[in-house]
Structure 1
Amino acid sequence: MIESIPILHTGTALPSSFEPTQGGIAHTPNTDPPPVPSVTVFVEVKTRSGLGFGTPAEAVTFSKQQRIRRLALLWLAEQDGPWRRIRFDVVSVLVPQGRGPVIDHLTAAF
């Protein structure tokens, strides 16, 4: 199962997706008072229906990791900190035909 990860809370409603020209980072706005997170987590979710092209997590290549890091830095630059720590997780979802999903949460994957 996926561990429970607190979503980044903000005091103001932000667009549902941060979309610079290089890509997008999904964001869930919240109207609760913003706590100062001890860790800000960016999560890449990959889904596959089979293993013909490797596991879903294997699709998060070095170049994809670099792109996610770049987007995270752009997003962080537009937000009010403080940023104590940041972490990059990968959630791998394998959905074989006719069976339930197999979910693997890789914490601090890169």
Structure 2
Amino acid sequence: MDQQRTQERRALAVAGEDLAVAILEADGSRIIARNWRCRAGEVDVFAVEDSPGGPVLVVCEVKTRVGMDFGDPLEAITPLKVARMRAVTVDFLAQHGRRYAEVRFDAIGIVFTGDRPAQVTHLAGVA
């Protein structure tokens, strides 16, 4: 039973990340990495957004839920999670060596509720 629950959670997370990527791409971002891991942790999506001042690295955490029984998914973005996102981003930048005009931390919360369209909240610049 635990293995089935783990598979269901992973499938939900992938569906949420796929939707988040589609939203970021629709807004003009280019996805450069998904589920990027290092010793400091993992970030769901790294994207690049063009701006007049130069490219912006968008570091995005995606939280997905089925219903609101456990609260808004964005409540799971704690100060500890933000600190890990920052640490992972430092490693990402060190390994990829590209310069960005800005680094922005975003969060996307997704709630799937039955057969209705998903509820999506995109917060830009959460940290």
TM over 0.5: yes
Larger % of strand: which? 2
Alignment match, 1:75: 92
Tell me whether 1:105 sits opposite 2:111 in the alignment.
Answer: no
Cα 1:80/1:86, change in 2 over 3 Å: same
Between the aligned partners of 2:40 and 2:34, the Cα distance in structure 1 is 17
- Please report the TM-score for the alignment, with normalisation by the length of structure 1: 0.73
Bigger relative contact order (CA 8 A; separation at least 6): 1
Does the 8 A contact of 1:42 with 1:87 survive in 2? yes
Residues 94/26 of structure 1: CA separation in 2 closer, same or farther (3 Å cut): closer
Counterpart among 7, 20, 36 of residue 38 in structure 2: 20
Q: What are the superposed Cα offsets for residues 68-87 of structure 1, whole Å, 9 maximum, x if unpaired?
A: 11101110111122221100
**Aligned-residue CA RMSD (Å):** 2.7
> Which runs of 5 or more residues in structure 2 are unaligned?
1-19, 47-53
Structure 1 alignment gaps of length 5 or more: 10-14, 29-36
Alignment partner for residue 41 of structure 1, among 58, 65, 68?
58
Identity of matched residues, %: 28
